[in-house]
Structure 1
């Protein structure tokens, strides 16, 4: 006969065996092999903690209700088009570029549009001042969307411009990511200020389980978008917060964030606005058009399609740039940004220059980059010399040896700056800029927005930025890297393993 202790031991053994068998069946399904293996390793080595972690963050999907809304948003994106301009933009492009545009439209729904102009802004405080000045010129509406939005000494001028806009009758709609913003110093004061000024605002991906608002906790809306009257837009890497993020440890270390933002004019502003409108609809269920909240449209059964084609009609041509806005994130069936990155790297024939603050690539991206070097294409990678997130920083470092041995030129942007800009160029006429890092979080978990550009003049602007980085940065050699102490290598490799837990 079994004793009580024996029964417990047998039961625990059966539970453990059941967990392992179910894990082998459930975990690898529709998941990258590297991610599946990392999760299985976690569950097998620490079964109970591993299972709890998998249940909390193992699914990269939005909740079913939000996926249903996202399906309507994706249909809206496909409707936001102007066929006559769409066709004209393809005539002089190389075949590879047009095929990428088609892929982006298939996955992200937005067209390539001609007649745009863009100006790069790299100075942190001056960028915020430029945004504030644009808001001061608003006559109809302002759409504000930032991963992190905080009212502090650095951003006070921007908030004052919003207050002035509302005072003169301009509609101001604001979105900020819940989890990213809530941990910042002035979160409560920021919400109170938005209320006091009379802005219409909402949290993105709120974690409020008691209100029925819950999803995987680390799914985030990482986009940074500002639209004024549908004719001027800003997008890039900058969060609306102090350059040190008001974090004591950052202040103690003297850290300062270095960003890059594009000021955009022309028809493509409308497609950037479409991303904002779709996110607003996803969070509130409200349809907004031309700055007017359209509650009556929802009540009457109208939907986003009602405003789709009208978005582009009021935009006039402003330059020579061909632009396609590419949204990505867990609401889409494919990793839109990763596929675009891969397509551009494989298409490059002359040079590739990549800037990414958090460079934790998957196998396909590593193969693409190292294969480009093998094809004779020079590849420059700009990353920060120091990191603000230990786990990501060490995971990133674990790839340096392989990249250096392949012939990639790695440049370390100097401390105390965190090079937070996210962009890259190929050859002489194609560039990409946006909110997306080159890591597995941005590929699968974050809602991101990127802007594909075909224009020699804009690439020339990007080259000036890249040259400036190169002047400031320290080239990393394989000889220097191999002198790293063993403890650093161990930390890097452990962090690399955890990066695959998606």
Structure 2
């Protein structure tokens, strides 16, 4: 045999050996849809599939971050082990109590109480309200957002941080490296934070020259603000102009519509715990419990007071607590279920829970944007519309060019959930997220008022209308549905 023939033979042997190995390795502890997508990529495009799987394909996360998460969860369980399953004078059905127990088992977070101070949607008003709270700070301010930019819209907030530092307030800030670096003024943004005295750190940074490396597909997608332990904000807002610093978006009128909630009470202890863990991971500082974890007066659910439970999730939680909570709550619904999600690519369990709710006679509504800002996810999302519509789900398309970026859900007239998590594989497994579940108070009413506003301006998609979609569009949707399982 000549040398070219020998080389070709060796390459074929190695290629087929790796394919055979992949068939037995890739499906381990992975969703069937994800396994199928990875195997197709590896079998048809091995030169692309093998390196990509090696880089981002593993469903596991190991190393320091996972160990820190496990240690933090254990500390939470030790310090909250004597707390009852429900706060005093709180009523919940046995089914809801079991969901609360599940959340607590998976994350260490107990059910506590909190008061809803405000609900914010308009970006300018949101940043102004955040700035007003920072101006009241006397001890510390904790800021953690996926995307940040110091622009004309957010200037009011960052100027408030600068004033707080001048008063002697400790300002700690976390921002996701990959989430923010693509926006104009990134280097200047970091420089300005340093100049005004903010103690800032990057979340999940990649800096090969300094030996900082991690999986490039991971993100810290959380959004939260804590001021003196007296108030906190969680939701879907990023700290950036609603046009996301894009002249094209500004020209066509595309802006992001978000929703965040401002709370007080004991629930802040859990929000603070999430920040404390992320802060320790990125800079190694342990926050002083005597300064940052001070018990608040007990509240009795009713009116603005709610029973609340924070559900953090991410690669450090391989059990995917947010996905399990969503599915459990959907199975709990008896009368109505309303879902608002900008990126809706359900896995088998989520899709089954939603359609099963319809078959039980539950009125199920899904609010999504008429046009998505992300090509692959947008088309993957569309691929599920036929199955949802055939089951009887009401799909409301929020009018373009606005991007409906709010992330919340209501179950019957009893339970509300709001936070940073989308309903897709990325938010379940690859992104660090937080969701706030509440019942017994006014959060559900506030979320349902938002839903009513969305419903008034949205287009109700019909099955006949959807069946009229051209074949090339459906083909593209299905291809993107397959590739979305890789992301």
Q: TM-score category by the smaller chain?
A: over 0.9
Deviation at 1:28, TM superposition (A): 1.1
Report the equivalent of 1:5: 4
- For the aligned residue pairs, the C-alpha RMSD in angstroms reads 1.7
CA distance in 2, matches of 1:495, 1:10: 35
SS in 2 for 1:233: strand
Q: Which residue of 1 aligns with 2:351?
A: 366
2:270 aligned residue? 271
Pairing partner for 1:325 from 304, 310, 327: 310
In the alignment, the residues of structure 2 paired with residue 464 and residue 249 of structure 1 have an alpha-carbon distance, to the nearest angstrom, of 32
- In the alignment, which residue of structure 1 is the partner of 2:295? 313
Q: Residue 314 of structure 1: CA displacement?
A: 4.5
Aligned position for 2:323: 338
Gaps of at least 5 residues in structure 2 are: none
Aligned counterparts of 2:83 and 2:317: Cα–Cα separation in 1: 27
Q: What is the 5 A alignment of 1:52-91? A: 52-81=51-80, 83-84=82-83, 86-89=85-88
Structure 2 counterpart SS, 1:223? coil
Are 1:132 and 2:131 counterparts? yes
Separation in 1, partners of 2:297, 2:137:
15
Task: State the partner residue of 1:375.
Answer: 360
CA distance in 1, matches of 2:117, 2:361: 31
Number of the residue aligned with 2:201: 202
- From 430, 437, 460, the equivalent of 2:422 is 437
The number of equivalent residue pairs is 484
Deviations 1:21-73 (A, max 9, x none): 11112211111111111101000000111101101110243341222222222
Which of 362-371 and 79-88 deviates more?
79-88
Please give the residue correspondences for 1:168-187 in structure 2 after superposition, counting only pairs within 5 Å: 168-187=167-186
Q: Which residue of 2 aligns with 1:101?
A: 100
CA contact (8 A) 2:333 2:412 kept: yes
Deviation at 1:349, TM superposition (A): 0.6
The answer to whether the Cα contact below 8 Å between 2:383 and 2:478 also exists between their aligned partners in 1 is yes
Q: Does 1:449 align with 2:434?
A: yes
**SS in structure 2 of the partner of residue 37 of structure 1:** helix
Mapped pair 1:418 → 2:418: no
- Structure 2 SS opposite 1:438: coil
Quickly say closer, same or farther: Cα 1:88–1:379, change in 2 above 3 A. same
Q: What TM-score, normalized to structure 1?
A: 0.93
Please name the residue that 1:497 is paired with. 482
Secondary structure, aligned partner of 1:30: coil
Q: Distance in 2 between matches of 1:250 and 1:76?
A: 45
Please say which of residues 347-356 and 12-21 is displaced more in the overlay: 12-21
Quick one: structure 1 residues 140 and 308, their matched pair in 2 at CA, closer, same or farther if it must change by over 3 Å? Answer: closer
**How far apart, CA to CA, are the structure 1 residues paired with 2:292 and 2:251?**
50
1:406 to 391, 413, 419: 391
Residues 440, 90 of structure 1: alpha-carbon distance in 2 compared, 3 angstrom cutoff: farther
Q: Which residue of 1 aligns with 2:19?
A: 20
Matched-pair contact (CA < 8 Å) for 2:114–2:263: no
Shift of 1:86: 4.8
User: How far apart, in 1, do the equivalents of 2:178 and 2:25 lie?
Assistant: 28
Distance in 2 of aligned mates of 1:88 and 1:468: 33
More displaced stretch, 310-319 vs 107-116: 310-319
Distance 2:273 2:79 in 1: 8
Moved more, 278-287 or 417-426: 278-287
Q: Deviations over 1:241-270 (max 9, x none)?
A: 000110243234321100000000111011
Q: Does 1:188 align with 2:170?
A: no
C-alpha spacing 1:429/1:309, structure 2 compared with 1 (3 Å): farther
Residues 1:164 and 2:163 aligned together: yes
Q: How far, CA to CA, are the matches of 1:308 and 1:33 in structure 2?
A: 47
Secondary structure of 2:442's counterpart equals helix
User: SS of the residue aligned with 1:288?
Assistant: coil
SS at match of 2:293: helix
CA distance in 1: counterparts of 2:203 and 2:60, whole angstroms: 16
- Where 1:206 maps in the other structure, the secondary structure is coil
- Counterpart of 2:143? 144
Please say if residues 38 and 497 of structure 1, whose CA atoms lie closer than 8 Å, have aligned partners that are also in contact.
Answer: yes
CA distance in 2, matches of 1:59, 1:115: 38
